[in-house]
Amino acid sequence: MVPITGYLDYAGLDDVVSGGARRIWVDTPKGRYRVWTKRTGHNPRLKVLLLHGGPGSTHEYLEACDSYLPAAGVEYYYYDQLGSGRSDRPDEPSLWELDRFVDEVEQVRCALGLSPDNLVLYGHSWGGLLAVEYALEYQRHLKGLVVSNMMSSVPAYNAYARDVLMPEISPDVLAEIKELEKNGDFDNPRYMELLSEHHYVQHVLRMAPVDWPDPVERGFAGINPAIYVPMQGPSELGVSADAKLVDWDRTGDLPSISVPTLVIGARYDTMDPSYMEMMAGRLPAGQYLYCPKGSHLAMYDDQAVYFEGLVKFLQELTTS
């Protein structure tokens, strides 16, 4: 597990802070907490709320958007989900449930004044799962939807990891990884060393780890295992059998999402690109963007294709 580093305690600060950032109060079954947001740009017709991955990562790795979206005239909002990044981090395990996160997104939408006239919900990885779940409950509030690098079925993702990704790893290395996982030795530096060399550089971000961009480094360093482990599980090669999301599958519900939706997949992704193309076909107003050089973080390793396609989709929404 990637250790948490650099967390700052924001307790006692005003809810409105500088540079377009704002902390929003959200109600939960365990009380009220603050989540951090930041607005960039101004466009009353096009506002994108960004849902980061994890679960329990931070908005920081999505800062690649700063190189493309402002010039395209897009207004967008970074947002650290509760328990992540600059948001409050309550020690309340019962809060890490999918339906509560959906309710949180809806509270953030209301607080930011986002409406079906302008709101595009973007989700990457776990954020894509959350975006699908939100759309199934609240699509009446959406102008559009973006599901980036996330399959609509965790069982199908686990099958892809087992049948396609794991066989790409040499048998000796995979056996060592599996032995470490079997022993629960996830904090062993050898575990991350093996994954970095034989999995991450192939399917997470196709760059040498020493060349990873600073926003990615910060995003990974900020992962909160108190959220990640119970929801995803400690393994980096699929969702664990005892994790809360292991049975999540919304593929059969995709036809009920009628808003324009862009699904983004990549050739070397941890997620099956052909499955994500199928998802786009099942969505009544679905489109598919394929990144032929990209991996799970295609916004970095196939950046031009990724953002050209994303911007095109967003701008088309303002003329439709």
**DSSP letter assigned to residue 121:** E
CA angle 44-60-222, nearest 5°?
A: 145
Give the whole-angstrom CA distance, residue 289 versus residue 292: 10
Catalytic residue among 57, 84, 87, 125: 125
Distance CA 223, CA 5 (A): 9
Whether 274 is catalytic is no
Closest CA to 39 of 112, 127, 106: 112
Phi first, then psi, for residue 206 (nearest 5°) are: -85, 60
Contact 236, 249 (CB under 8 A): no
Distance CA 227, CA 229 (A): 6
Cα–Cα distance, 223 to 204 (Å, whole number): 15
Query: 221 to each of 55, 101, 187, 231, how far by Cα in Å?
Result: 13, 22, 14, 18
Between CA 108 and CA 126 the distance in angstroms is: 18
Q: Where are the alpha helices (DSSP H) in 90-204?
A: 98-112, 126-138, 154-160, 166-168, 171-182, 189-195
User: Which position among 80, 88, 103, 269 bears the catalytic label?
Assistant: 269
Which of 59, 141, 203, 296 is labelled catalytic? Answer: 296
Which of helix, strand or coil describes residue 195?
helix
DSSP conformational letter for 2: P
The burial of 27, by beta-carbon neighbours within 10 Å (0-12 exposed, 13-18 middle, 19 or more buried), is given as exposed
Block residue for tokens 């394929």: 290
Per the annotation, the verdict on 87 as an active-site residue is no
Known catalytic residue at 125: yes
Catalytic residues: 125, 269, 296
